[in-house]
Amino acid sequence: METSASETSCPSPSSASLDTEEKSHRGVIHAVFLLSAAALADEIFLIRLLSIRFWPHFVPMIVSQAMLGFGAAGVALHLLRERIEKYPRRVFAWLIILAAPSFDLAFRASQRIAFDPFLLLWEPGAWPAFGLFFILLAVPFFLAGGAIAVPFSFRMGRPGPVYAASFAGSAAGAVIALAVFPLVRTESLLRIPLALCLAAGLLFLREPRRGGRWGRRAAWGFSLLLLLLPPAELSPSPYKDLAVARKLPGARQLAARYGPSGDYRAVYAPGIHVAPGLSFRFAGDIPPQAVVFCDGEARGIVPAEGSIRYPAYLDYFPSSLAYRLVTRPAVLQFGLRGTEGILAAAGNGASSITVVEPAGELASLLRNDLAAFSGGWPAPAGTEIRTEGARNFLARNSGRFDLIEAAEISSPSFTSLGIHATGETFLLTREGVRSALSRLSDRGLLSFSGWLKSPPRESVKILATVRLELERSGAAPASDRIIIARGWGTFVVLARRTPFTEEDLLRARRFCEERGFSMVWPAGRGSVSGGEEERALQAAVKRTMEGYSGDRSADFFDLSPVTDDSPYFYRLLKPGKLPEFRRILGSQWIPFAEWGVVFLLLSLAVSLALAAVCLLAPLGFSRFRESAGGAPFAAYFSALGLAYMLIELTWLKIGILILGDSIRAATAAIGGFAFFSGLGSAASGRWDAPRTMSRRVFPAIAVFTLSGYTFLSLSADNLLSSGEALRTIAFLASLAPAALLMGAPFPAAMSRLSVSAPSSIPFAWGINGFFSVAGASLASVGAMWMGFRGTVIAGAALYLAAGALYPRVGIRKGGE
């Protein structure tokens, strides 16, 4: 059969239609990419913004808001499916347009809601304000999640490529957030997701041609105007140190720096003369000072002209005892404490000073911005600042130090009372202390100092860790190699690998007598009267030094050393003891509760309750039960949500050790999982056969997850001593195989549902989103009480369970 030239040159209607449809699908994929980037960037920025207003314990709640918004969007699409399926592109376009201003407006509105999170556990009246606050911040994720779910639910593209675009956008959002932090003021961060969402909306301003095109243009223009408004003012909690300092007469901000590590501000006020724990024997003057804040919490003190005139008060803390036992030491300090730490070392004749400070922003603030106030950088010739993680430095550096200081391991401020119990502290694990001891010279001292609590907690826990590691290294008995001194509310634990001599002990006792401190170990007479708190400390120290091994089940606090597998040094109060603790102390229990753990568990409980309501309520008047596959359907998508978050967030926590800080770890873990899962989603159509998924893909996910974790665990010591590039490559390589395959199960199941039960797709999106909320909180709970290893095993087991359920997804009752 012959064909004329005119017929071949002119496209048929069907080919033109296909071309238009292909362009339409590309637009959807581009929009999903931008929306996902905006949502992930907003999530990361909210972590910073709410850490300034409150504390880092709000991080689980932020993740909950994001995923609850996504889950609620799926439920809403399920309930409104019959209306939406008539105009899916119109709904898609409107959701994008409405999501753009919500990133900015929702946060502005939330800033006007006054509520105290510490009232939630005993004041019912605090819950409505908290609920409104929570819902407001969930609105952007609801709109963005709804927009991303529409293409899945109404066949606006193949599930694999659409889900791949979502993952790729999330990876891009993580990278964009990291790049933007040092370039944009903290108050203006939310303009980035607004701009990304505006770009997504721009793709749909012209189509569809009917259904409110001019309305969408007007809404898009309104959102554009938000970029011209001044950013929302940050209002820290009245309990935050920065809020208190700003209220002082004459308070003014001297300088500010912002970046991935935090929001740093230096504030001066004539009334600031801060020296917590100072000996009452000090008779001099405390000079004017500036306080440096990180995310609203006091991070250090900068004495005015401290580099010109040595602040004598620095010699009247228990921590300065170390300088009486070593002369002209080579000093290593972990963390910049303003300039006080460097000034104390330089003033006591240190031959060299090395400070390991991961936050380059803080180092720049102190060295450059506050130089005029401080009188210049202290000891510029002999001071080196290393911007890397503490464990990375200890592994990479082969030098020896005469004094290694880890100061302020506990704080006098309200924020130390368990707020950071959910934070990883790899320096204070057994492996961290072991690394520090290995870097001591023959006469070297390891010093830990901080604020005493009643009953004793951090002081005893670090003592137990040091004693255990000394004895493990053969430096026994540890009792001859440890000195503990107590001041007015502060303590110092000094340890070295060789026994202290009688002359050393005499110097220590003389120092304590001159300063009005007391020797807690070895027991000796001091100037501080033996009150109840001191007797409790002495009893706890004696029991720890003697290696008490009796029944500890009745103790309220867990003071046993922690390891890298569960590096939660500040997780002290046993959860099972909380009701009894509250009963004994009555209304006085609040300062003793570990609020980081309390809010984590509270977040988990609230999220599960909301998920139950949002998922179960629609079943009463929907046709889900008839078409989706019933319990296997719900269990499958629940398992996917839980498992993905358990594995991803555990990798993030391990990455803090390997990569040196939480920001790099978050970017590598979130971005890495999203990128490789996106590749897996794009290829999911090749693997979606039930036999292939159940017998190959899901078992491979479990195997690659466990092998990747094992690789990181066994190679951690070697990786820590490697360069940043090699560590990053190894970290990404460890997660890549599992993450690649983890991108396949969701779109593969969506493809099955699109054929057998398309009406259940939004509900599947909702289930996955809601149980991702639980997975985010459970990842932290598991890491604290099961360890990283146990949490990863749980995630792998859930994927195996999902694999067993996959063949039944989308099968109606009766086998249809």
> For 463-508, how does the pLDDT look when each residue is reduced to its tens digit (9 = 90+)?
999 999 999 999 889 999 999 999 888 999 999 999 999 999 999 9
Q: How many helices (H) and strands (E) does the chain have?
A: 30, 12
Q: What percent of the chain has pLDDT over 90?
A: 46
519-522: Cβ within 8 A, 24+ apart: 519/483, 519/484, 519/485, 519/486, 520/484, 520/485, 520/486, 520/491, 521/479, 521/482, 521/483, 521/484, 521/545, 522/479, 522/483
Structure-block tokens of residue 385: 């600042």
According to the 3-state scheme, what is the secondary structure of 379-410? CCCCEEEECCCHHHHHHHCCCCEEEEEECCCC
Residue 208: predicted pLDDT: 56
Residue 9: predicted pLDDT: 37
The verdict on 72 and 219 lying in the same domain is yes
According to the 3-state scheme, what is the secondary structure of 478-493? HHHCEEEEECCCEEEE
Dist. CA 385–CA 337, nearest whole Å: 13
297 in helix, strand or coil? strand
Does 658 reside within a domain? Answer: yes
Phi-psi region of 113 (alpha: psi -120 to 50; beta: other; left: phi over 0): beta
Pick from 210-214, 781-785, 792-796 the range whose average pLDDT is largest: 792-796
Domain end: 526, 545, 564, which one?
545
Looking up residue 118, the CATH number of its domain turns out to be: 1.20.1250.20
Q: What is the pLDDT of residues 270-325, one digit of tens each?
A: 999 999 889 999 999 999 999 999 988 888 999 999 989 999 999 999 999 999 99
The verdict on 490 and 353 lying in the same domain is yes
Q: What is the pLDDT of residues 733-780, one digit of tens each?
A: 999 999 999 999 998 888 888 888 888 888 888 888 888 888 888 888
pLDDT > 50? residue 798: yes
pTM: 0.87
Structure-block tokens of residue 471: 């004895």
602 in helix, strand or coil? helix
Dist. CA 262–CA 266, nearest whole Å: 13
Does 274 reside within a domain? Answer: no
Quick one: average pLDDT of 594-612? 73
Q: What percent of the chain has pLDDT over 70?
A: 85
pLDDT > 50? residue 210: yes
Burial class (CB in 10 A: 0-12, 13-18, 19+), 359: buried
The verdict on 730 and 788 lying in the same domain is yes
Residue 1: predicted pLDDT: 37
Work out whether the CA dihedral 34, 37, 43, 47 comes out positive or negative: negative
Pick from 149-158, 602-611, 650-659 the range whose average pLDDT is largest: 650-659
Quick one: average pLDDT of 58-79? 74
Give the domain extent around 509.
308-411+422-545
pLDDT > 70? residue 580: no
pLDDT > 90? residue 706: yes
Residues 330, 351 contacting (CB under 8 angstroms)? yes
Residue 408: predicted pLDDT: 87
The verdict on 512 and 656 lying in the same domain is no
Dist. CA 392–CA 723, nearest whole Å: 9
How long a stretch of residues is the chain?
Answer: 816
| Residue 450 β-bridge partners | 491
Domain end: 506, 530, 545, which one?
545
Residue 418: predicted pLDDT: 44
Does 714 reside within a domain? Answer: yes
Residue 683: predicted pLDDT: 83
Q: What is the CA radius of gyration of the chain?
A: 29
Dist. CA 130–CA 567, nearest whole Å: 31
**Is the omega angle on the peptide bond into residue 208 within 30 degrees of 0, that is, cis?**
yes
Does 262 reside within a domain? Answer: no
Residue 18: predicted pLDDT: 42
Dist. CA 511–CA 319, nearest whole Å: 11
Structure-block tokens of residue 73: 């969007």
Quick one: average pLDDT of 320-331? 95
Residue 39: predicted pLDDT: 92
Give the helix/strand (H/E) hosting 477. Answer: none
527 in helix, strand or coil? coil
Least confident of 209-213, 238-242, 680-684: 209-213
Least confident of 309-318, 602-611, 724-733: 602-611
Does 641 reside within a domain? Answer: yes
Q: What is the pLDDT of residues 644-672, one digit of tens each?
A: 999 999 999 999 999 988 878 888 998 89
pLDDT > 70? residue 796: yes
The verdict on 631 and 527 lying in the same domain is no
Residue 620: predicted pLDDT: 57
Quick one: average pLDDT of 704-728? 93
The verdict on 709 and 633 lying in the same domain is yes
Residues 415, 383 contacting (CB under 8 angstroms)? no
pLDDT > 80? residue 587: no
Looking up residue 487, the CATH number of its domain turns out to be: 3.40.50.150
Q: What is the pLDDT of residues 357-397, one digit of tens each?
A: 999 999 999 999 999 999 988 876 678 999 988 999 999 88
Could you tell me which residue, 553 or 156, shows the higher pLDDT?
Answer: 156
Residue 62: predicted pLDDT: 62
Question: Under 8 Å CB-to-CB from 253, ≥6 apart: which residues?
Answer: 265, 266, 267
Q: What is the pLDDT of residues 420-463, one digit of tens each?
A: 556 788 999 999 999 999 999 999 999 999 988 878 888 999 99
The verdict on 511 and 600 lying in the same domain is no
The verdict on 537 and 622 lying in the same domain is no
pLDDT > 90? residue 412: no
pLDDT > 60? residue 353: yes
Least confident of 321-330, 337-346, 616-625, 665-674: 616-625
**8 pLDDT tier (thresholds 50, 70, 90):** very low
Residue 636: predicted pLDDT: 93
Does 276 reside within a domain? Answer: no
Torsion of Cα atoms, 767 then 770 then 776 then 782, to 10°: -70
Quick one: average pLDDT of 38-62? 80
Burial class (CB in 10 A: 0-12, 13-18, 19+), 653: buried
The verdict on 225 and 316 lying in the same domain is no
Chain position carrying tokens 């509270």 = 602
Residue 594: predicted pLDDT: 63
Residues 449, 490 contacting (CB under 8 angstroms)? yes
Does 230 reside within a domain? Answer: yes
Quick one: average pLDDT of 548-564? 75
Residues 465, 424 contacting (CB under 8 angstroms)? no
Query: How far, in Å, are 259, 410, 446, 456, 517 from residue 489 at the CA level?
Result: 34, 11, 21, 11, 10
When the pLDDT of each residue in the chain is averaged and rounded to a whole number, the result is 84
pLDDT > 90? residue 417: no
The verdict on 80 and 196 lying in the same domain is yes
Residues 809, 632 contacting (CB under 8 angstroms)? yes
pLDDT > 50? residue 7: no
Query: How many structural domains does the chain have?
Result: 2
Of 651, 632, 622, nearest to 732 (Cα)?
651
pLDDT > 80? residue 402: yes
Least confident of 346-350, 365-369, 545-549, 793-797: 545-549
Dist. CA 750–CA 681, nearest whole Å: 11
Quick one: average pLDDT of 155-166? 82
By DSSP bridging, strand 440-451 and strand 490-495 are antiparallel
Does 13 reside within a domain? Answer: no
Domain end: 522, 545, 568, which one?
545
Angle, alpha carbons 742-744-745 (nearest 5°): 85
The verdict on 218 and 315 lying in the same domain is no
Dist. CA 544–CA 460, nearest whole Å: 7
**554 pLDDT tier (thresholds 50, 70, 90):** low
Residue 163: predicted pLDDT: 84
357 in helix, strand or coil? coil
The verdict on 65 and 203 lying in the same domain is yes
Residues 78, 757 contacting (CB under 8 angstroms)? no
Of 74, 86, 71, 144, nearest to 622 (Cα)?
74
Dist. CA 271–CA 507, nearest whole Å: 36
Tell me the CA end-to-end span of the chain in Å, nearest whole number.
Answer: 44
Q: What is the 3-state composition of the chain as percent helix, strand, coil, each rounded to the nearest 5?
A: 60, 10, 30
Question: Under 8 Å CB-to-CB from 417, ≥6 apart: which residues?
Answer: 591, 592, 593, 594, 595
Of 353, 317, 318, 348, nearest to 334 (Cα)?
353
